[in-house]
C-alpha cells in the first residue's frame, strides 16, 4: 500500500505542472482586440481582430511612421508653427493639442513628441504640412494622407484606410486590431519612435518668433507607462465613434508582447483590457 501511495503522489506531482500551464483566455470589454509576440509575429489572442473600427488618435502611429520613413530625414529641421494648426484645434471642438504657439520654431523631433505624448492634432497637422508635397497646404495634407494609405498597403494592412492625419475622420478612417498591431510593430523598428513612445513626460526647448526660447512640457496619455512592468508604448486613442482605444507593448525577459484594443467602454476599462491581454501574452 505504501508503494501505491508513493506512486499516487508522484502521479499527482507530474500532473500539477500541466494543470498550471493552462491559461484562461481573458474577457475584455473592448469590441476588438489582438495580441501577438512581437519577435515571432505569432498571434496569441483575437477578438473581432479583423473587424474594421474607428481608430481615434491611434491613427497618429501611422503619421509618425510616414515621417520616420522619409528619405534623408533631418529630425532637427525646424518647422514654423502656423495659425492654421491652432485654428484647426479650435475648429474641431478643442481637439487634443500639443499647445503649439504660432510663430514658434519647433524641430521635427519635437513635433513627434508633441504628436505621440499629448496626442497633439496640431503637431499632426504640422507634420502633414511639412512632409506632404504640393503648392498649397490643402494639397500637402492630401498628399501626406495619400502616403499614409500607401504605407498601409505596402505593410499589407488590408482593412486599414485613413482620411485624416490625426484620427479626426471624415467617414473613412478605420483599421482593425490586427492591422494596428502590425503597424505599431513596424513603427517600433525605428529607434526614434521607440524612444518617443516610452517617454512618460518631456520638457522641450523651442525657439520663439522673436528669437528667444520657451519650454514646452508634454505628458504621455498612455496609462501603462509606469504602472505596468515592462511597458514600452504605444498610443492611446478616443473619440465619439472610436470610444476608447489603446495600442500597447511591453517587454519582459527579452520577450515583447504587442497588441491593440479598440472601442473599449471607458478609459479605465481600456487600461484593464490592455493589462489583461499583456498578462495573457506573457503567459502564452
Per-domain residue ranges for the chain? 32-283
Q: How many Å apart are CA 248 and CA 235, to the nearest integer?
A: 7
Q: How many Å apart are CA 84 and CA 231, to the nearest integer?
A: 35
Q: How many Å apart are CA 252 and CA 71, to the nearest integer?
A: 33
Half-sphere exposure of 95 (CA within 13 A, CB side): 27
Closest-CA residue to 262 (of 119, 117, 52): 52
Residues whose CB falls within 8 Å of the CB of residue 92, separated by 6 or more in sequence, listed in order: 121, 168
CATH placement of domain 32-283: 3.40.710.10
User: Which cell numbers in the block locate residue 266?
Assistant: 471607458
Q: Which residues are catalytic?
A: 57, 60, 119
Q: Is position 235 annotated in a ligand binding site?
A: yes
- Mean pLDDT, all residues of the chain: 93
Closest-CA residue to 61 (of 132, 202, 200, 162): 162
Which tens digits make up the pLDDT trace of 233-247?
999 999 999 999 999
pLDDT confidence band for 23 (50 / 70 / 90): confident
Q: How many Å apart are CA 79 and CA 111, to the nearest integer?
A: 9
What is the pTM for the complete model shown?
Answer: 0.92
Return the bridge partners of 207, or none.
105, 213
Which tens digits make up the pLDDT trace of 192-232?
999 999 999 999 999 999 999 999 999 999 999 999 999 99
DSSP reduced 3-state for 204: strand
Which tens digits make up the pLDDT trace of 47-74?
999 999 999 999 999 999 999 999 999 9
What is the C-alpha R_g of the chain? Answer: 22
- Choose between 95 and 229: higher pLDDT: 229
- For CA atoms 125, 130, 136, 142, the dihedral sign is negative
Amino acid at each position: 500500500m505504501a508503494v501505491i501511495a508513493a506512486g499516487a503522489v508522484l502521479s499527482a506531482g507530474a500532473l500539477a505542472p500541466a494543470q498550471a500551464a493552462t491559461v484562461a483566455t481573458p474577457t475584455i470589454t473592448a469590441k476588438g482586440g489582438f495580441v501577438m509576440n512581437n519577435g515571432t509575429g505569432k498571434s496569441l489572442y483575437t477578438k473581432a481582430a479583423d473587424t474594421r473600427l474607428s481608430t481615434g488618435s491611434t491613427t497618429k502611429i501611422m503619421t509618425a511612421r510616414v515621417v520616420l520613413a522619409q528619405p534623408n530625414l533631418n529630425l532637427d529641421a525646424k518647422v514654423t508653427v502656423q495659425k492654421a494648426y491652432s485654428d484647426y484645434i479650435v475648429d474641431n471642438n478643442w481637439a487634443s493639442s500639443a499647445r503649439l504657439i504660432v510663430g514658434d520654431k519647433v524641430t521635427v523631433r519635437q513635433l513627434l513628441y508633441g504628436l505621440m505624448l499629448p496626442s497633439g492634432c496640431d503637431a499632426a497637422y504640422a507634420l502633414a504640412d511639412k512632409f506632404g508635397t504640393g503648392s498649397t497646404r490643402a494639397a500637402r495634407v492630401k498628399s501626406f494622407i495619400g502616403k499614409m494609405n500607401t504605407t498601409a498597403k505596402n505593410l499589407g494592412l488590408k482593412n486599414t484606410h485613413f482620411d485624416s492625419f490625426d484620427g479626426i475622420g471624415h467617414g473613412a478612417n478605420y483599421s482593425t486590431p490586427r492591422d494596428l498591431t502590425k503597424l505599431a510593430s513596424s513603427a517600433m523598428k525605428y529607434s526614434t519612435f521607440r524612444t518617443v513612445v516610452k517617454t512618460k513626460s518631456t520638457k522641450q526647448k523651442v525657439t520663439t518668433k522673436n528669437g528667444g526660447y520657451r519650454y514646452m512640457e508634454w505628458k504621455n496619455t498612455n496609462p501603462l507607462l509606469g504602472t505596468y512592468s515592462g511597458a514600452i508604448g504605444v498610443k492611446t486613442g478616443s473619440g465619439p465613434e472610436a470610444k476608447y482605444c489603446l495600442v500597447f507593448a511591453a517587454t519582459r525577459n527579452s520577450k515583447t508582447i504587442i497588441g491593440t484594443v479598440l472601442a473599449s467602454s471607458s478609459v479605465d476599462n481600456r487600461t484593464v483590457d490592455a493589462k489583461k491581454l499583456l498578462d495573457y501574452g506573457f503567459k502564452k
